[in-house]
A and B are shown apart, each in its own frame.
Chain A
Amino acid sequence: MTETLRQSLSALVDQEATEFEARKILDATKTRGDLKEYWASCQAISSTMRGESVLGTSLLDRINAELDGVTEAKPIADDYNHEVAPHVTFLPTKEPLPNRFAALTGQLAIAASIAFAVVVGVKVVAPVDTQQAVAASEPLEIIKFQMPVQKETVSVGGVTNAQDAVERRPVARILTEQDMKQLVSNRLSPYLIRHAENTAVVGGTSVLPLARIMGRDEPIE
Chain B
Amino acid sequence: MRARCLGALLCALLLGHPDALAISSEPAKEKLRSMAMAVRSLSYSGKLVYQRADVLANLAFQHDVVNGQETARLRRLSGQPLERAQSGDALIEAIPGPDVLRQGYPLPGMINSEPRQIFEAPYQITLGGVERIADRSAQLVLVESMDGHRHSYKFWVDEETSLLLRSQTLNADNQTLEQFEFSELTVGPQSVEIAGGQESLQVKVYPITAPDAVLQFSPASWLPSGYQLVSALPSRAGSHRVYTLVYTDGLGSFSIFLELTSSRPEPDMQAILGPTVALGKDYALSGGALRVTLVGEIPPETGKTIIDALDVDGLKGLLSRSQ
Task: Tell me whether A and B are bound partners.
Answer: yes
* B74–A211 CB distance below 8 A: yes
Cα–Cα, bound, A168→B282 (Å): 9
Contacts of B53 in A (CB 8 A): 144
Q: Which of A22-30, A95-103, A181-189 contacts B (4 or more CB under 8 A)?
A: A181-189
* B264–A191 CB distance below 8 A: no
* B101–A195 CB distance below 8 A: no
* B266–A158 CB distance below 8 A: no
Contacts of B178 in A (CB 8 A): 208, 212
* A86–B102 CB distance below 8 A: no
Q: Which of B51-70 contact A (CB under 8 A)?
A: 51-59, 61, 63-64, 66-67, 70
* A183–B66 CB distance below 8 A: no
Is B219 an interface residue when CB atoms closer than 8 A count as contact? no
Given contacts A46-B201, A128-B204, A199-B246, contact A88 B284 (CB under 8 A): no
Is B172 an interface residue when CB atoms closer than 8 A count as contact? no
Contacting residue for B268 out of A10, A157, A201, A205, CB 8 A: A157
Is A218 an interface residue when CB atoms closer than 8 A count as contact? yes
Is B144 an interface residue when CB atoms closer than 8 A count as contact? no
* A211–B57 CB distance below 8 A: yes
* A220–B98 CB distance below 8 A: no
* A144–B201 CB distance below 8 A: no
Is B129 an interface residue when CB atoms closer than 8 A count as contact? no
* B296–A195 CB distance below 8 A: yes
Given contacts A76-B201, A135-B261, A198-B231, contact A148 B56 (CB under 8 A): no
User: A130-142 vs B: 1/0 string, CB under 8 Å?
Assistant: 1111110100001
Interface of A is mostly: loop
* A144–B295 CB distance below 8 A: no
Is B78 an interface residue when CB atoms closer than 8 A count as contact? yes
Q: Which of A73-123 contact B (CB under 8 A)?
A: 74-76, 80, 84-88
* A51–B197 CB distance below 8 A: yes
Given contacts A201-B110, A205-B63, contact A192 B295 (CB under 8 A): yes
* B39–A205 CB distance below 8 A: yes
Contacts of B254 in A (CB 8 A): 195
Is B265 an interface residue when CB atoms closer than 8 A count as contact? yes
Cα–Cα, bound, A158→B283 (Å): 10
Is B21 an interface residue when CB atoms closer than 8 A count as contact? no
Q: Which of A207-221 contact B (CB under 8 A)?
A: 207-208, 210-220
A residues adjacent to B (C-beta < 8 A): 6-7, 10, 13-14, 41-42, 45-46, 48-52, 74-76, 80, 84-88, 125, 128-135, 137, 142-148, 153-158, 160, 164, 167-169, 171, 183-185, 187-188, 191-192, 194-195, 197-208, 210-220
User: Which are the 5 A-B pairs with shortest beta-carbon distances?
Assistant: A167-B284, A205-B72, A51-B193, A157-B267, A215-B55
B residues adjacent to A (C-beta < 8 A): 39-40, 48, 50-59, 61, 63-64, 66-67, 70-72, 74, 76, 78-79, 82-87, 90-92, 94, 98-105, 107-110, 115, 164, 167, 178, 180, 189-195, 197, 201-206, 208, 230-231, 236-238, 242, 244, 246, 248, 253-255, 257, 259, 261, 264-274, 276, 278, 280-286, 291, 293, 295-297, 308
